[in-house]
């Protein structure tokens, strides 16, 4: 049965399919990442996916890896509630806020709905068409949702990069030109992390492959080590370029200031919120809890452990602002999920990171078409960055990346994918 499935490439199977399912999947894909004006926890496509749960849920549940992901997501709210009960008893300065509870409880629901909806769309449209529609929708919605201070850095970089790669890249030369152009725009926009992500993507995508069959465990591990080496090398090069002023005066000054404030630790200097998160974790290893507003002790513990160089900068930081508003926002999906959902939040984040890393290695090994391989790797790497260093507003993108990872897992387990041939551009995964 699997052999029959692989006789006809996915792109041809979907080429003239205008069934109701395909049209519905196309509409849903275009809306899956579009923010909802009603709820910050749920995209428009997520709301539609929620209504289509009887249709979209079973496919992910039948997937072994998808089932673990669903269980981890479903466990977030009940585990966060248990943490909240313990947290409120531990610190009487903390209070329970129903409004915050509803928002934080709706977030896993929106994530789950977007994940199942995105996965269903991929099975109906194929990966390439889904990515085109999803990021076109996100780009069109950009003026209504992205920050105007630095639109490239705070919204446009991901959709434009993905779409440019999917539309333009047909060979390594065009890929190099696309990455160089996108990196130049990122440097001009003072977006050093995106410059690094593009460089790592380029290093992995052009990695020479021998005759691939189904990757063995040793080959996947080798690719994983190559990925880690590429990440380390590019991070070091970007760091050196920043401190030497090769990426502009602004990034040179900012990098040096961060190093000075954090006593040479670029991670804590670049993301001082990690200092706040680590301090909170040491005092509250189980988390703060869903719907719980932090106490004054939590506030002072968090902001005074951020290496910002002065108390004045600590007092006006985003962490300080969120705490004063009654929410724990640590500018990291990983740490914010821990604070709100406890150990369940950490487990979910760890599972997502493992899936993204594994999907990256499989994409490098298995995806034949250069543009899809590059777009997939870029999406996996950028989402990994978001989990570690971005706020929870990236939930829709996280769902898209995890759905893409599940698709790569599915098709990589079916049958060998032939070596790329310039005379034959089709692929079972596209």
Residues 6+ apart with CB under 8 A from 289: 80, 81, 83, 84, 85, 86, 87, 88, 340, 342
Task: Give how far Cα 26 sits from Cα of 66, 118, 125, 352, Å.
Answer: 22, 10, 7, 26
* Number of domains making up the chain: 1
364 inside domain = yes
Residues 6+ apart with CB under 8 A from 33: 43, 45, 114, 134, 135, 137, 138, 141, 396, 397, 400
Rg (CA), the chain: 22
Share of the chain above pLDDT 70, in %: 75
DSSP SS3 for 164: helix
- Write down the mean pLDDT value for the chain: 82
Give bridge partners of residue 43 from the DSSP assignment. 35
Domain ranges, residue 150: 2-261+331-412
Tell me the two tokens of residue 323.
């705490």
The answer on pLDDT for 368 being more than 50 is yes
Give bridge partners of residue 421 from the DSSP assignment. 424
Task: Give how far Cα 217 sits from Cα of 72, 80, 222, 361, Å.
Answer: 25, 36, 9, 11
64 inside domain = yes
Question: Distance between CA atoms of 316 and 313, rounded to whole angstroms?
Answer: 5
φ, ψ (nearest 5 deg) of residue 322 = -65, -40
- pTM (2 decimals)? 0.83
357 inside domain = yes
129 inside domain = yes
281 inside domain = no
123 inside domain = yes
Query: Which helix (H) or strand (E) element contains residue 96?
Result: strand 95-96
Judge contact between 371 and 170, C-beta under 8 A.
yes
Predicted confidence at residue 154, as pLDDT, reads 84
| pLDDT bucket at 219, cuts 50 / 70 / 90 | low
Residues 6+ apart with CB under 8 A from 172: 206, 370
pLDDT tens digits, one per residue of 375-426: 999 999 999 999 998 887 768 899 999 999 999 988 544 333 333 333 333 3
Judge contact between 355 and 399, C-beta under 8 A.
no
162 inside domain = yes
23 inside domain = yes
């Amino acid at each position: 049965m699997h052999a029959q499935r692989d006789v006809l490439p996915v792109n041809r199977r979907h080429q003239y399919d205008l069934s109701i399912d395909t049209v519905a999947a196309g509409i849903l894909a275009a809306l899956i990442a579009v923010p909802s004006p009603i709820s910050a926890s749920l995209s428009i496509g997520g709301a539609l996916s929620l209504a289509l749960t009887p249709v979209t849920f079973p496919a992910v549940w039948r997937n072994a890896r998808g089932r673990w992901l669903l269980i981890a997501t479903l466990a977030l709210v009940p585990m966060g509630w248990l943490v909240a009960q313990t947290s409120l008893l531990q610190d009487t300065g903390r209070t329970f806020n129903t409004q915050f509870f509803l928002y934080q409880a709706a977030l896993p629901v929106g994530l789950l709905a977007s994940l199942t909806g995105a996965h269903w769309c991929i099975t109906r449209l194929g990966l390439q068409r889904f990515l085109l529609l999803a990021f076109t929708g996100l780009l069109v919605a950009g003026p209504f949702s992205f920050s105007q201070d630095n639109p490239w850095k705070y919204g446009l970089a991901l959709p434009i990069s993905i779409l440019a790669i999917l539309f333009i890249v047909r060979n390594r030369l065009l890929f190099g030109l696309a990455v160089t152009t996108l990196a130049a725009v990122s440097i001009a926009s003072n977006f050093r992390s995106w410059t690094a992500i593009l460089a790592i993507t380029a290093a992995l995508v052009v990695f020479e492959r021998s005759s691939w069959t189904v990757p063995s465990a040793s080959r996947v591990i080798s690719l994983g080590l190559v990925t880690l080496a590429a990440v380390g090398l590019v991070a070091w090069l970007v760091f050196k370029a920043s401190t030497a002023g090769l990426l502009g005066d602004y990034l040179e000054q900012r990098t040096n200031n961060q190093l000075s404030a954090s006593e040479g630790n670029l991670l804590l200097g670049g993301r001082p919120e990690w200092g706040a998160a680590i301090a909170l974790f040491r005092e509250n290893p189980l988390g703060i809890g869903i719907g719980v507003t932090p106490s004054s002790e939590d506030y002072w513990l968090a902001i005074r452990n951020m290496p910002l160089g002065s108390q004045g900068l600590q007092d006006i930081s985003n962490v300080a602002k969120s705490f004063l508003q009654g929410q724990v926002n640590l500018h990291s999906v990983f740490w914010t999920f821990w604070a709100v959902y406890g150990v369940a939040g950490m487990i979910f984040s760890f599972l997502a990171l493992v899936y993204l890393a594994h999907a990256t290695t499989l994409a490098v090994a298995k995806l034949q078409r250069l543009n899809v391989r590059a777009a997939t790797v870029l999406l996996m790497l950028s989402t990994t960055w978001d989990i570690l260093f971005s706020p929870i507003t990236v939930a829709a993108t996280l769902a898209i990346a995890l759905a893409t990872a599940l698709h790569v897992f599915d098709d990589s387990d079916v049958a060998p994918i032939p070596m790329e041939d310039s005379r034959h551009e089709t692929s079972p995964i596209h």
